[in-house]
Chain A
């Protein structure tokens, strides 16, 4: 093992919550309503939740079998050295690539919505430096940082939901299932992918101090994330209707902006920034950490610190040069990213699990 750290079961689900919701709350409603219109919330509430639960079962079963290993280790013990190493390498690249994309989303939103004159690179650089410092200090720092910001995030989300109630027009959710479950399924690709990001747990298994509760905390994460994203999406549909919502890149942001209680409680979009900065910092730190840990394990280093800098540079590079404009990001997030993501968050872990079952490998006590 590279590092000695402990993550409790409640810390785990809170971490996964931030991991998914921080960016999901801005991007998921937008991309899902694009295809699902007023039924988009069903994709999030039903399809993504079911899929999320499946992912949770796969991951927690693997965690149970290999309580002291990350996916870098048990892919080797299950699939042999060559294939295992290749899988490990792919994961390493996937983590670095994704971290770059998340950093880009962070900067892109701030530039689009708030500070058009500030270069994107500035936001990205600041975030990567901050995350690098967290990553150097280890997973426990990231987990605690998350515990510190999560009340803020929860209060703000719930606040935005409640304050928007006066403007809700529930009939905007009608007609339900207008084009049947087909369209709901079609729209659910993005929310499914977002929810499956709980699979980051695959890199954290050795740090979990209570393997009995891993499954429960994963399920808890899936359900709570589902609740917040569903309500947020429903609120956006109820306020903007299914035609206008498609028009906006960041409906949740507009929702916060539209809130007006007695013309007094207004202009709450700054709160979205609080969530965005705090949440995405945690998220980036977590993904960055996974990338670093994967690299350290792949190269069989004793300490993860030496790879922090080089990976940071790669992340920064990806974050700036991967996309030329906002539309490319949205395009990527709604088409390629889900498939790429699901391959790593679901397909590979599920295959590993199957192999483990067939070969009766890992943990000894097979449940």
Chain B
């Protein structure tokens, strides 16, 4: 009996060890990070990396909501704490985080990675390496480039969300597709595009804008404490050539890219209609995009490489200023043609810019050649980016207006 008891006690004592493991990390000991940014700054003439992390403060969040009416609350209970640390290399800067934070960095919930323009212009090699080696980072994080410093992109004021990184995330996930003026890659696609010789990365551009709109906000009396306010805008795209930022695409050019790659979703294309048999005059119509698809087909004709891009766009009639009839089938036909022309113009403009000016293969044309003509590709793979600007590309666009909204013709105001 006694012996059994001893055995039982010994066995039970093992349970103590089961309750946790060696690498245990309690939630309250973690600095949960929602967004990170990478800058390069000059300190005493020496170039250093700056690692910016936005730490979520759960207690701050609670206070923010709770004390809304009271107006008081302690001033520093913001929902996030932005920590910036310097280091000789990126890993060093990233580790220095814990010289300031008494909690351990926890990156598994990170959603956004922001690179400054300067960092992106120089080689990304070192950054990519760290991002890949790091255990906790998720490949679903969104990569974005900001004009200016990453620091200011992370200290901007969130508008509708409590946390800035949630705002970034919603801009990317939910509203980007409503406008089709920006394109963002997640970390995985970014890596894929970097690793593939026949593909170059393109990703979101963040602009920081001073906002007057929000000055009127403010809780109760704390108006003066809020230093110059800025907010963020996701617009356009950053184009990379290999691992270096080659340039930017504007709104329209990004839309052109989205059509070229068949990724365009909703959005508006304003059309200026031509005179239509004297009937229409000069009036504006908007083509409300709904969906699109594209085919990028490389062909070899007579030993010469050519690329054919076929775009199909669908949309609705969005807005029409004018009184003349516009919703008859034959009118829609004209709009179809006009929309196709406009899309083709945008696509061509984008293509010329990335092909001739940036020399970046963001459409993955090289990859398409690799897949269709592996032998040809093997011969040109090494000098693809030199050949690419001179490849002839043919663009064909078909557009279809499917619906006219809740009305047919415009209301006749008499």
Q: Which residues of A contact B (CB under 8 A)?
A: 112-119, 122, 171, 174-175, 178, 239-241, 243-244, 246-247, 254, 257-258, 260, 263, 266-267
Tell yes or no: B263 within 8 A of A by CB: no
B370 x A244 contact (CB < 8 A): no
B371 x A115 contact (CB < 8 A): no
CB distance from B23 to the nearest CB of A (A): 4
With the chains together, A240 CA to B188 CA distance in Å?
A: 7
B370: chain A residues within 8 A (beta carbon): 175
23 contacts across the A-B interface (CB closer than 8 A) = A112-B135, A115-B23, A117-B23, A171-B371, A174-B371, A174-B372, A175-B371, A175-B372, A178-B374, A240-B192, A241-B192, A241-B195, A244-B191, A244-B192, A246-B195, A247-B195, A254-B139, A257-B139, A258-B139, A258-B140, A260-B140, A266-B140, A267-B108
Tell yes or no: B196 within 8 A of A by CB: yes
A174: chain B residues within 8 A (beta carbon): 371-372
Interchain residue pairs A-B with the least CB separation, the first 10: A118-B22, A243-B195, A115-B23, A175-B374, A174-B371, A117-B23, A244-B195, A241-B192, A243-B196, A178-B374
Q: Which residue of the partner chain, among B108, B132, B197, contacts A247 with CB atoms under 8 Å?
A: B132
CB distance from B184 to the nearest CB of A (A): 15
A267: chain B residues within 8 A (beta carbon): 108
B192 x A117 contact (CB < 8 A): no
CB distance from B34 to the nearest CB of A (A): 15
With the chains together, A257 CA to B134 CA distance in Å?
A: 14
Q: Which residue of the partner chain, among A114, A246, A257, contacts B23 with CB atoms under 8 Å?
A: A114
Tell yes or no: B21 within 8 A of A by CB: yes
CB distance from A268 to the nearest CB of B (A): 12
With the chains together, A175 CA to B378 CA distance in Å?
A: 12
Tell yes or no: B138 within 8 A of A by CB: yes
B135 x A116 contact (CB < 8 A): yes
Size of the chain B interface, CB-CB below 8 angstroms: 20
With the chains together, A272 CA to B374 CA distance in Å?
A: 35
Beta-carbon nearest neighbor of B22 in chain A: A118
B374: chain A residues within 8 A (beta carbon): 175, 178
* Contacts A175-B371, A178-B374, A244-B192; A117 near B22 (Cβ below 8 A): yes
* Contacts A174-B371, A175-B370; A243 near B192 (Cβ below 8 A): yes
* Contacts A175-B374, A240-B188, A258-B188; A115 near B196 (Cβ below 8 A): no
With the chains together, A244 CA to B189 CA distance in Å?
A: 9
B372: chain A residues within 8 A (beta carbon): 174-175
Q: Which residue of the partner chain, among B21, B188, B191, B371, contacts A118 with CB atoms under 8 Å?
A: B21
CB distance from A171 to the nearest CB of B (A): 6
With A244-B188, A247-B132, A247-B195 already in contact, 19 other A-B pairs whose C-beta atoms are closer than 8 Å: A114-B23, A114-B135, A115-B22, A115-B23, A117-B23, A118-B23, A119-B22, A174-B372, A239-B188, A240-B188, A240-B192, A241-B192, A241-B196, A243-B195, A244-B192, A244-B196, A258-B138, A258-B140, A260-B140
B197: chain A residues within 8 A (beta carbon): 243
With the chains together, A267 CA to B137 CA distance in Å?
A: 11
B21: chain A residues within 8 A (beta carbon): 115, 118
Beta-carbon nearest neighbor of A115 in chain B: B23
With the chains together, A244 CA to B22 CA distance in Å?
A: 32
Beta-carbon nearest neighbor of B378 in chain A: A178
Q: Which residues from 159 to 209 on chain B have a C-beta closer than 8 Å to any C-beta of chain A?
A: 173, 188, 191-192, 195-197
A116: chain B residues within 8 A (beta carbon): 23, 135
Beta-carbon nearest neighbor of A248 in chain B: B132
Q: Which residue of the partner chain, among A114, A119, A247, A263, contacts B191 with CB atoms under 8 Å?
A: A247
Beta-carbon nearest neighbor of A177 in chain B: B374
With the chains together, A241 CA to B135 CA distance in Å?
A: 21
A263: chain B residues within 8 A (beta carbon): 173
* Contacts A175-B374, A178-B374, A244-B195; A122 near B138 (Cβ below 8 A): no
A243: chain B residues within 8 A (beta carbon): 192, 195-197
CB distance from B311 to the nearest CB of A (A): 18
Beta-carbon nearest neighbor of B373 in chain A: A175
With the chains together, A115 CA to B173 CA distance in Å?
A: 32
CB distance from A61 to the nearest CB of B (A): 42
B191: chain A residues within 8 A (beta carbon): 244, 247
CB distance from B131 to the nearest CB of A (A): 12
B108: chain A residues within 8 A (beta carbon): 267
B135 x A113 contact (CB < 8 A): yes
CB distance from B380 to the nearest CB of A (A): 14
CB distance from B294 to the nearest CB of A (A): 14
Q: Which residues from 363 to 384 on chain B have a C-beta closer than 8 Å to any C-beta of chain A?
A: 370-372, 374
With the chains together, A178 CA to B367 CA distance in Å?
A: 13
B22: chain A residues within 8 A (beta carbon): 115, 117-119, 122
B135: chain A residues within 8 A (beta carbon): 112-114, 116
B132: chain A residues within 8 A (beta carbon): 247
Beta-carbon nearest neighbor of B17 in chain A: A126
CB distance from B75 to the nearest CB of A (A): 34
CB distance from A122 to the nearest CB of B (A): 6
CB distance from B50 to the nearest CB of A (A): 25
With the chains together, A247 CA to B188 CA distance in Å?
A: 12
A240: chain B residues within 8 A (beta carbon): 188, 192
With the chains together, A115 CA to B25 CA distance in Å?
A: 10
A246: chain B residues within 8 A (beta carbon): 195
B140: chain A residues within 8 A (beta carbon): 258, 260, 266
Beta-carbon nearest neighbor of A118 in chain B: B22
CB distance from A39 to the nearest CB of B (A): 11
B138: chain A residues within 8 A (beta carbon): 257-258
With the chains together, A258 CA to B196 CA distance in Å?
A: 19
B173: chain A residues within 8 A (beta carbon): 263
B371: chain A residues within 8 A (beta carbon): 171, 174-175
A175: chain B residues within 8 A (beta carbon): 370-372, 374
A112: chain B residues within 8 A (beta carbon): 135
With the chains together, A122 CA to B17 CA distance in Å?
A: 12
With the chains together, A269 CA to B247 CA distance in Å?
A: 37
Q: Which residues from 12 to 29 on chain B have a C-beta closer than 8 Å to any C-beta of chain A?
A: 21-23
CB distance from A263 to the nearest CB of B (A): 8
> Can you list, as one digit per residue, whether each of B273-315 has a CB less than 8 Å from chain A (1) or not (0)?
0000000000000000000000000000000000000000000
CB distance from B313 to the nearest CB of A (A): 22
A254: chain B residues within 8 A (beta carbon): 139
